[in-house]
């Protein structure tokens, strides 16, 4: 299996621009998570989906952030408009939700820099 795939790996944009981050989970996994990692706040969960349905988006910082999962193999995280404080590494992770606590598999992350 190719693992969780994220694109782009690096994104540099200017304040005010729209940014779209993409994620392809591991085939067969039915839960998908978006995390943000910064030096100041560490790893934070932004939103997660079960069977393509958003379950908890309480971690989404503002209305500027939105996430979709139109099908089981694709998810996007969009920031519009972007701000310098959004600069971070954004991780997507997936897992197979079952009765036990299966581990989450992380993608390589997208390093976002907003100038």
Partner 1 sequence: AQKITQTQPGMFVQEKEAVTLDCTYDTSDQSYGLFWYKQPSSGEMIFLIYQGSYDEQNATEGRYSLNFQKARKSANLVISASQLGDSAMYFCAMSSHNAGNMLTFGGGTRLMVKP
φ/ψ (deg, to 5) at 61: -65, -40
Q: How far is the CB of 103 from partner 1 (least distance, A)?
A: 4
Q: Are strands 31-38 and 42-50 parallel, antiparallel or unpaired?
A: antiparallel
Among 1, 63, 71, 100, binds partner 1 (CB under 8 A): 100
Of 49, 6, 44, 9, the closest CA to residue 29 belongs to: 49
Among 45, 57, 66, 76, binds partner 1 (CB under 8 A): 45
Q: What is the DSSP letter of 59?
A: T
Which residues contact partner 1 by CB under 8 A? 31, 33, 42-43, 45, 48, 55-56, 89, 91, 93, 95, 97, 100-101, 103-106, 108-109, 111
């Amino acid at each position: 299996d190719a693992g969780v795939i994220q694109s782009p790996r690096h994104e540099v944009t200017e304040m005010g621009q729209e940014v779209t981050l993409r994620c392809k989970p591991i085939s067969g996994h039915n839960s998908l998570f978006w995390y943000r990692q910064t030096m100041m706040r560490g790893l934070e969960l932004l939103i997660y989906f079960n069977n393509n349905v958003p379950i908890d988006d309480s971690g989404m910082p503002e209305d500027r952030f939105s996430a979709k999962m139109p099908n089981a193999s694709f998810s996007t995280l969009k920031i519009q408009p972007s701000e310098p404080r959004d600069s971070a590494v954004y991780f997507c992770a997936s897992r197979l939700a079952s009765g036990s606590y299966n581990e989450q598999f992380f993608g390589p992350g997208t390093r976002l820099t907003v100038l």
